[in-house]
Amino acid sequence: LVMRGNKLRLIDPGQALCELGLEEHQLRFTSTVYVEEDGPPTKTADKIYQLIKSKVSDTPAQYSSDGSITMSDSVLIKVSGDEESKSVLVSWSHQDEDLGSYLLQILKTGLVT
Amino acid sequence: SMSRPKTYIWGRVNVRTFVDALTKQGITDIKVEETEDGSIIDLPNDDTLIQVEPESTHIICEGNEVIRIKLRDTLLKCLQKL
């Protein structure tokens, strides 16, 4: 709710911040899951993509050929490593906290054996 | 379904205030390095680096979720909400 002159208006909080001249503070989290799994990193990435699709049906996931997966506005999942061991980076902004922390949890329980 | 928070956060993090708040939370192994744009807070005991800049903070946490959530909530208290 923003007052301008004598008028009150109901506007989106992001727009209100902008109109009030306030800078939004971007808060981002990155955590890593380590996986011992034979095969190329893209195979692990594909497995993660299938796992996510089965667990989170209401938010679409985009899979890139470099083995990274993006979801919502800010979530990034990226697999790197070699034939034996992989690290899975999971990164999200505060706006996607529920989704990001849920994905981290399912990757920790669903990948690490 | 996943909810997205309706609050926006704004303002700058006062690193000294944040570090004091972390100390009160029982996190005592804290190293602060000044950089060109801000600070890097290293928490070696908790496998975490926190990169603080005027318009952004990045919490890179290799520790467990308990510590990440504690860091998140402590940081949010150092910022303004709308």
Mean pLDDT value across residues B57-78:
95
Find the CB nearest B57 among A25, A58, A59. A25
Give pLDDT, residue A41: 92
Structure tokens at A70: 């993006």
Q: Read off the DSSP letter of residue A24.
A: B
B75 within 8 A of A27, measured Cβ to Cβ: yes
Residue A26, phi then psi, degrees to nearest 5: -85, 120
CATH code for the part of the protein at A27-111: 3.30.70
The domain locations on chain A are 27-111
Three-state secondary structure call for residue B73: helix
Residue with tokens 């005027």: B54
For residue range A6-61, list pLDDT tens digits in order. Answer: 777 777 777 777 777 788 899 999 999 999 889 999 999 999 999 999 999 899 99
Q: Which chain A residues touch B60 with a CB distance below 8 Å?
A: 29-31
Structure tokens at A10: 């109901």
Which has more confidence, B40 or A17? B40
> Do the chains contact at A24 and B1, CB–CB below 8 Å?
no
Find the CB nearest B8 among A17, A98, A99. A17
For residue range A56-110, list pLDDT tens digits in order. Answer: 989 999 999 888 999 998 999 999 999 999 999 999 999 999 999 999 999 998 8
Please check the confidence at residue B31 and state whether its pLDDT lies above 60.
Answer: yes
The domain locations on chain B are 9-81
CATH code for the part of the protein at B9-81: 3.30.310
Residue B11, phi then psi, degrees to nearest 5: 100, -175
> Do the chains contact at A23 and B10, CB–CB below 8 Å?
yes
Identity of the residue numbered A109:
T
Structure tokens at B12: 């700058």
CA distance A61 to B80: 32
- Does ipTM surpass 0.85 in this model? yes
Q: At what angle do helices A97-111 and A41-55 cross, to 10 degrees?
A: 120
